[in-house]
Structure 1
Amino acid sequence: MKLSQKLTAKTKLNQTLRSWLPILQASGDELKETLEPFLEKNPFAQLEPNPKSRSINFYNDLYKTSISDAIESNIIYKESLYEKLYNQIDDRLFPSQKSKEIANLIIESISDEGYFEWSDEKFANFSKEEVERVRARFAYLEPIGVGAVDYKESFIFQLNDLCDDDEIYRLCVEIIEDFENISKFTKRKNYDAAMSIIKKFKNPPAIEYMDSDILVIPDIFVYDNDGAIEVAVNDEFYPHINIDIDGVDEKSEFVSSKIKEAKDLIDALEMRKSTLYKIGLMIIEYQYDYFFGGDIKPMKLKDIADDLGRNPSTISRAIQNKFLSSKRGIVPLKNFFTAAAAKEVSNAAIKEFLLNLIKNENRLKPLSDEAILAMIESEFDIKLVRRTITKYRKMLNIASSSERKKLYAIQG
């Protein structure tokens, strides 16, 4: 009898887990479609909008609590093309106030497709030569290609980022400048290699920002409640499973099995919320300083899995395509699981230090990767290899020392 009870309990848990894992892995906007296959053959359960949910068109009724304030301000977020560009107008490429002013006006003159459109009114206080000198620096901003006057110039901007072979580069330029007669290039040496690069170009350059329907919905909120950091799960976008058994015989084997299936799904949704809530609490514990302006510290999936009594693969599923919202913005949960470069030093801390080195370097003699390596090893008392520094630099979209020297010369 005891063995039978244990097997029944284990079977129930396994059934719930089978439902739970895909539900856990689904992002907030995928929950409804993830649940639908489980319920499509269940006549007694229906998916309904969450009764706690409000219209996402910037709610008419404002909650008064601090968590609701956080939801109100952060529930819908997608970095726009213009935010992306404005955030890159810094001293590295635009050192003077005048260059920043021109750069901001250029951004205002960029179409939704990413092309620059001249305006006599906007640039009345500047010469065309001044504007063009500043606009040339947009070739080094992301998304690459934005700020060009037409697709050919956009392709040249993108080519600079994708090709480091001089011969192929020159052929690509020829093809771009004479696309109307592209057939005449087919027998040229390196034609296939050149076309392979050209096929990677984005046209229009801002195409990835043109879908305004893509939204980022935070799964976890971290907010300041009178000086205390607290966490809450955003359950307003969870669909509601309604079980309707009016007028049916609950003792029927078919009915009872379908009711059980629906309840297992409800349990799975609750397990999802519970797991995300616990992950949120552990992130606060491990990354407390981050929420007050500090760096993200090294944190492994195994650390949090051990603390929660879960398998690391389960935690990995839980953080995929999930986001956390705090006063520092909306970030993917996976960002908090930064790998350690060594000891207690995180990749994020090293990247921040590298950025500061570049920002303050001698423009007449930019720092080489070897020099940066030596400074980082001295600062953090760790051993790295040069290719690690090169990788971080490229991840941060920082040009090589020779390329930076050319950029600084352009800036004057």
Structure 2
Amino acid sequence: MALSARLELRQGQGLVITPQLQQAIKLLQLSNIELDAFVEDELERNPLLQRDERDAEPDPETPQAEISDNATDRIADVEASADMDVSHDESSPGERATGDTPDAPAAEAGGAIDWSKAGRGGGFDGDPDALESALTRHKTLADHLHDQLVVAGLTPAECAAASLLIDAVDEGGYLRCDLAETAERLGCDDAFLARVLTVLQGFEPVGVCARDVRECLMLQLKERDRCDPAMEALLDNLPLLARRDMAALKRVCGVDDEDLKDMVAELRGLTPRPGAAFGAEPSHVVVPDVYVREGLGGLWHVELNSDTLPRLLVDQRYHARVSAVARSDQEKTFVSDCMAQANWLVKSLDQRARTILKVSSEIVRQQDAFLAFGVEHLRPLNLKTVADAIGMHESTVSRVTSNKYIATPRGVLEMKFFFTSAIQATEGGEAHSAESVRHKIRHLIDAERGETDVQSDDAIVDILKEAGVDIARRTVAKYREAMRIPSSVERRRMLKEAV
């Protein structure tokens, strides 16, 4: 067969992910905080973008002429920047360093700055909120330990080793490093590092720098002078205490029921995480993206939270003025690109808001029974059901519901909350939501008041099947363990001890 070259014309369809489309997809999955940060970056990068502040009332003391002059000042700045770019190309590096204008500010005059009067970094002169932030900053556990290390009276070598050990303490107050490896790395013997650790374990809070739970509780008991042989035996058998095997604990500790009860009560008064009180992350208020309110006739009104939606405008007049003074092709291309990016960003933000409203409205329509009657009426729902109803792809719905919150009469909930798997009903009835089944299991266990009322997993399965829920015992056990609920044997022991 002879080989030859030829030209063919073919027509086909394909999806090209342009940078603008990638940006629009990225905007969908951003939370309101991340979106605000993204918009701030775009406002700094693109001079043709500005915030829409038309709802804000103008300052009556500011004359209208001064307001209109702001745009002229911005245009003059851009023209000056263009002139500087041209002059930079024509001048030498030495000329650019010294500056030719006598009115140049000190910040641009390089060697004219008197650095001897410069303050230390992190001062409060430029930021009025910096002082308040510094005073209200939570002291971390490491800061607290380092403050005590300064007055511990250790040698420089011991301070260096102690500082390294403090850096290995986690947020709970536990030492997360191997002493043998650390001693080898520091070039010291194990006894030296053990002495340093003993000093650190005497710091506040009591129990800090322990290597496990037993040592943490032991340090706290020694501080209270309550570390006797019976208590040491109890600490050596914490797994028996977790299983509430009181008979075995009495045998290994050599005490009676009353003494064991007092020992367990004293153990419960200790702190298994002594460092948890330091440097806790401040709680952030969740700002909902969508509000759901009940209207007349049982209808639900869905509206976007306008406070979380950035409102941007493209400054057309500023674009016209800058385009008129653009000289080179590079300047014209820059202005054209800024205009295209600004228009696309405004369009993408509007499309994002419409998509969020459409998806949330369909979620509310699907879960109206939950909003009206509670979690027991939560229906099973998946992404495909919502996507088919609104004519979108599942991936789009997944991005929209990521990191978004809805304020409902039942509380502020994440959109992902409304998507739960289905559990089949008996006799071919309507399927049940997994979240509603978990709620029923918790309700049955919370209703237990005595040893005879404790329901085993098999008993819970029978009760749920009578209620029309077809569920397996292992599923009940999985849901119970996910909710951190002990088994029926442990719950029976707890109720017996309470009596």
* TM-score interval (norm. to shorter): 0.5 to 0.7
- TM-aligned CA deviation for residue 333 of structure 1: 0.6
Counterpart of 2:432, as a letter, is V
Q: In the alignment, is residue 318 of structure 1 matched against residue 400 of structure 2?
A: yes
Q: Which residue of 1 aligns with 2:312?
A: 241
Q: Secondary structure at the match of 2:403?
A: coil
- TM-aligned CA deviation for residue 285 of structure 1: 1.2
- Contact 1:235 1:273 (C-alpha < 8 Å) held by counterparts: no
Distance (whole Å) between structure 1 residues aligned to residue 455 and residue 207 of structure 2: 30
- TM-aligned CA deviation for residue 214 of structure 1: 1.3
Distance (whole Å) between structure 1 residues aligned to residue 406 and residue 450 of structure 2: 38
From 398, 410, 415, the counterpart of 1:328:
410
Q: Which residue of 2 aligns with 1:229?
A: 300
Counterpart of 2:322, as a letter, is V
Distance (whole Å) between structure 1 residues aligned to residue 461 and residue 275 of structure 2: 38
Q: Which residue of 2 aligns with 1:373?
A: 461
Q: Secondary structure at the match of 2:323?
A: coil
Q: Which residue of 2 aligns with 1:396?
A: 483
From 425, 441, 445, the counterpart of 1:358:
445
Q: Which residue of 2 aligns with 1:42?
A: 46
Distance change >3 Å, CA 361–CA 276, structure 1 → 2? same
Q: Size of the alignment, in residue pairs?
A: 282
From 32, 35, 54, the counterpart of 1:28:
32
Distance change >3 Å, CA 339–CA 253, structure 1 → 2? same
- TM-aligned CA deviation for residue 378 of structure 1: 3.3
Point out which structure has higher relative CO (alpha carbons under 8 A, 6+ apart): 1
Q: In the alignment, is residue 257 of structure 1 matched against residue 337 of structure 2?
A: yes
Distance (whole Å) between structure 2 residues aligned to residue 154 and residue 353 of structure 1: 41
Q: Which piece of structure 1 moves more, 334-343 or 282-291?
A: 334-343
What TM-score comes out, normalization by structure 1 length? 0.58
Distance (whole Å) between structure 2 residues aligned to residue 380 and residue 52 of structure 1: 55
Alignment of 1:8-27 (within 5 A): 14-27=18-31
Counterpart of 1:219, as a letter, is D
Counterpart of 1:301, as a letter, is L
Distance (whole Å) between structure 2 residues aligned to residue 261 and residue 27 of structure 1: 21
Alignment of 1:2-401 (within 5 A): 14-38=18-42, 40-46=44-50, 48=51, 172-178=213-219, 202-205=273-276, 210-212=280-282, 214-227=284-297, 228-244=299-315, 245-246=317-318, 247-249=321-323, 252-294=332-374, 295-342=377-424, 344-361=431-448, 363-365=450-452, 366-382=454-470, 384-401=471-488
Distance change >3 Å, CA 41–CA 205, structure 1 → 2? closer
Q: Secondary structure at the match of 2:27?
A: helix
Q: Secondary structure at the match of 1:178?
A: helix
Instruction: Please state which structure has a larger fraction of its residues in helix.
Output: 2
Deviations 1:343-394 (A, max 9, x none): 6111122112112211333621311122212322332241x33222122112
- TM-aligned CA deviation for residue 272 of structure 1: 1.2
Counterpart of 1:306, as a letter, is D
Q: Secondary structure at the match of 1:230?
A: strand
Q: Which piece of structure 1 moves more, 274-283 or 307-316?
A: 307-316
Counterpart of 2:421, as a letter, is A
Distance change >3 Å, CA 203–CA 309, structure 1 → 2? farther
- The percent of aligned pairs where both chains have the same amino acid is 27
Q: CA RMSD in A?
A: 4.1
- TM-aligned CA deviation for residue 320 of structure 1: 1.2
Counterpart of 1:22, as a letter, is K
Counterpart of 2:284, as a letter, is I
Counterpart of 1:214, as a letter, is H
Distance (whole Å) between structure 2 residues aligned to residue 175 and residue 212 of structure 1: 26
Distance (whole Å) between structure 1 residues aligned to residue 388 and residue 467 of structure 2: 32
Distance change >3 Å, CA 284–CA 172, structure 1 → 2? closer
Distance (whole Å) between structure 1 residues aligned to residue 56 and residue 283 of structure 2: 19
Counterpart of 2:420, as a letter, is T
- TM-aligned CA deviation for residue 154 of structure 1: 12
Distance (whole Å) between structure 2 residues aligned to residue 265 and residue 310 of structure 1: 21
Q: Which residue of 2 aligns with 1:407?
A: 494
Counterpart of 1:286, as a letter, is Q
Distance (whole Å) between structure 2 residues aligned to residue 153 and residue 178 of structure 1: 5
Distance (whole Å) between structure 2 residues aligned to residue 207 and residue 36 of structure 1: 33
Q: Which residue of 1 aligns with 2:4?
A: none
- Contact 1:22 1:34 (C-alpha < 8 Å) held by counterparts: no
Distance change >3 Å, CA 278–CA 254, structure 1 → 2? same
What TM-score comes out, normalization by structure 2 length? 0.49
Distance (whole Å) between structure 1 residues aligned to residue 477 and residue 206 of structure 2: 30
- Contact 1:50 1:238 (C-alpha < 8 Å) held by counterparts: no
Distance (whole Å) between structure 1 residues aligned to residue 213 and residue 348 of structure 2: 54
- Contact 1:152 1:177 (C-alpha < 8 Å) held by counterparts: no
- TM-aligned CA deviation for residue 51 of structure 1: 5.9
- TM-aligned CA deviation for residue 50 of structure 1: 6.3
- TM-aligned CA deviation for residue 273 of structure 1: 0.7
